[in-house]
A and B are shown apart, each in its own frame.
Chain A
Amino acid sequence: MSNEAILHSSVVAHDHHDSHDDTHHEHHHHETFITKYVFSQDHKMIAKQFLITGMFWAVLGGFMSVLFRLQLGYPDSTFPWLEDIIGKWGKGGHISAEAYYALVTTHGTVLVFFVLTAGLSGTFANLLIPLQVGARDMASPFMNMLSYWFFFLAGLVMLSSIFVETGPFSGGWTAYPPLSALGSASPGSKTGMDLWIIAMALFVVSSLLGGLNYIATILNMRTKGMSMTRLPLTIWALFFTAVLGVLSFPVLLSGFILLIFDRNFGTSFYLSDIFVSSVGALPNEGGSAILFQHLFWFLGHPEVYIILLPAMGMVSEILSTNARKPIFGYMAMVGSMFAIAILAFLVWAHHMFVTGLNPFLGSIFVLLTLLIAVPSAIKVFNWITTLWRGNIRFTPAMLFAIGFVSLFISGGLTGIWLGNSAIDIHLHDTYFVIAHFHIVMGVASMFGMFAGIYHWFPKMYGRYLNNNLGYIHFWLTMIGAYLIFWPMHYQGFAGMPRRYYDFSVWESFKQFADLNRFISTVATIVFFVQIMFLFNFFYSIFKGRKVTSTNPWSSNTLEWTTPINPGHGNWVGEIPEVHRWAYDYGKDGKDFIPQTTPVGDDESVH
Chain B
Amino acid sequence: MVYMTTVSNNQRNRIHPHKFTMWVAMGSIVMMFAGLTSAYIVRSNQGNWLEFNLPVVFWYSTLVILCSSLFIHLSVKAFKAREMQRYRLLITITMALGLLFSVLQFVGFSDLKTHGVQLLGVGSNPAASFLAIICGLHILHVLGGVVVLMIIFLRAYSNKSKNYNPVPVEIVATYWHFVDILWIYLFIFFSIIHT
Contact = CB atoms under 8 A, between A and B. Distances in A.
Interface of A: 1-8, 14-18, 20, 136, 139-140, 143, 208, 211-213, 215-217, 219-224, 246-251, 253-255, 257-258, 261, 265-269, 283-288, 291, 294-295, 298, 569, 571-575, 577
A265 B31 CA distance: 24
B155 interface: no
The prevalent SS among residues of B at the interface is helix
Interface residues of B, number: 49
Given A2-B7, A213-B21, A269-B129, 13 more contacts: A136-B4, A139-B20, A221-B11, A223-B10, A224-B10, A224-B12, A246-B31, A251-B34, A255-B35, A265-B121, A266-B120, A266-B121, A285-B123
Contacts of A287: 126
Interface of B: 1-8, 10-18, 20-21, 24-25, 27-29, 31-36, 39, 42-43, 46-49, 120-126, 129-130, 133, 137, 167
Contact of A569 (B4, B29, B39): B4
Contacts of A571: 3
A221 B125 CA distance: 49
Contact of A285 (B7, B17, B125): B125
Nearest to A569: B4
Contact of B39 (A4, A16, A140, A291): A291
7 contacts: A222-B11, A223-B7, A224-B11, A224-B12, A246-B27, A573-B3, A573-B5
B11 A2 contact: yes
A113 B25 CA distance: 21
A208 B4 contact: no
Given A139-B20, A216-B17, A250 B11 contact: no
B43 A219 contact: no
B22 to A, nearest CB: 9
A251 B17 contact: no
A575 B10 contact: yes
B21 A139 contact: yes
A214 to B, nearest CB: 10
B11 A246 contact: no
A268 B124 contact: yes
Contacts of A18: 2
Contact of B32 (A3, A213, A250, A285): A250
Given A4-B4, A247-B27, A253-B32, A288 B46 contact: yes
Nearest to A272: B48
Nearest to A246: B28
A220 B15 contact: yes
Contacts of B124: 266-268
B27 to A, nearest CB: 7
A131 to B, nearest CB: 15
A569 B20 CA distance: 22
Given A254-B36, A266-B121, A1 B17 contact: yes
